[in-house]
Amino acid sequence: MTSATAPSDLAAALGPTPRLERLRWLADDTLTIAWRFLASMVRMPESIVFSAIQPMLLVLLFRYVFGGAIAGVHGSYVDFLMPGIFVQTVSFGAMVSAIGMAEDLQKGVIERFRALPMARSAVVTGRTVSDLTRNVFSVALMTALGFAVGFRVQTSALGFLAGFGLLLLFSWALSWGFALVGLLVRNPETAQLATIPILLPFTFASSAFVPVGSMPGWLQAFAKNQPVSAVVDACRALMDGGPTETHVLVALAWSFGLVAVLAPLAVRRYTRIA
């Protein structure tokens, strides 16, 4: 099977890898790792069903339970609500990154990866790319359901697609952050618990479900100036109408800013672990 090679030949043959080759490996390995998560998701149809149920329930509950009671919104509540639900869904969906990362650490899959000649950062980038793919499906699913319960895009198809793209970018930023959480806590149960105190305040103390103006002053200060609100406002402007430019710029700044900070932190944490 394997022939013994003299050490000296080997060291020479394994000289430094060119930069371009390394970049190609990073891309290849990222896709392989992303494929790994998507392939294992396909093998667990029940998990796809259950992860789809939560956003669907949220759409229905908010639409019909709160829809009547929440007044003071111009236009229809369902049009106001849907962008908020989209952002909330991708935010809670990012929890999977934290749990999955911690699980891989605990089970020893990462141990195996670390002994392979793959690009090290691909373990984290692959995770975030698979999350991105998953989010495309979950937002598409919610859009379909939204249409069924009366959601209409008031602007244009282009506006809707722009909002869709912005959502995905923001979800990608969150994946990095939650992957970092998983790498820090190293235990799937703890990882899940650790994401809740981050997710609840940011999604609920935001413009996702109610106009920020209805909150007390001190809470408004937070709710107006945090990333979830920024992305919700931008999506709402793009899909529902109103001035878009400032909202979109602020949302883009938040999203790119989060990626710029969280991605290097997550990769660094991964390479330094243990």
Partner 1 sequence: MPERPAIEVHDLVKVFARGRVRALDGLSFEAGTGTILGVLGPNGAGKTTAVRILSTVIRPDSGRAAILGIDVGGDPAAVRRIIGLAGQNAAVDENLSGRQNLQMIGRLSHMGRGPARRRADELLEQFELTHAATRPLKTYSGGMRRRLDLAAALVAQPPVLFFDEPTTGLDPHTRQDMWTWTERLARAGTTVLLTTQYLEEADRLADRVIVVDHGRVIAEGTPAALKAELGATVLLVTLEDHERARDAAALLETVGSRPPTVEDHVVELNVDNGPRAGSEAMRALDAAGIAVLGLELRQPSLDDVFLRLTGRKAEAEPGARPLAAAPAAT
Q: Which residues bind partner 1 (CB under 8 A)?
A: 1-8, 10-11, 14, 17, 25, 28-29, 32-33, 35-36, 39-40, 43-44, 102, 105-118, 122, 186-187, 273-274
Rounded-to-integer distance, Cα 130 and Cα 151, Å = 28
- Least Å distance between CB 39 and partner 1? 6
| Phi and psi torsions of 116, nearest 5° | -95, 155
DSSP labels for 179-223?
Answer: HHHHHHH--HHHHHHHHHHHHHHHHHSSTTTS-GGGS-HHHHHHH
- Least Å distance between CB 13 and partner 1? 9
- Least Å distance between CB 10 and partner 1? 5
- Least Å distance between CB 221 and partner 1? 37
- Least Å distance between CB 47 and partner 1? 9
SS3 content of the chain, % helix, strand, coil (to 5): 80, 0, 20
Q: 93 or 188, CB closer to partner 1? A: 188
Q: 32 or 246, CB closer to partner 1? A: 32
Q: 108 or 243, CB closer to partner 1? A: 108
The CA–CA distances, whole Å, from 71 to 68, 80, 185 equal 7, 11, 41
Nearest to 128 by CA among 251, 270, 237: 270
Only one residue has tokens 């969906």, namely 93
Q: 16 or 217, CB closer to partner 1? A: 16
Q: 74 or 107, CB closer to partner 1? A: 107
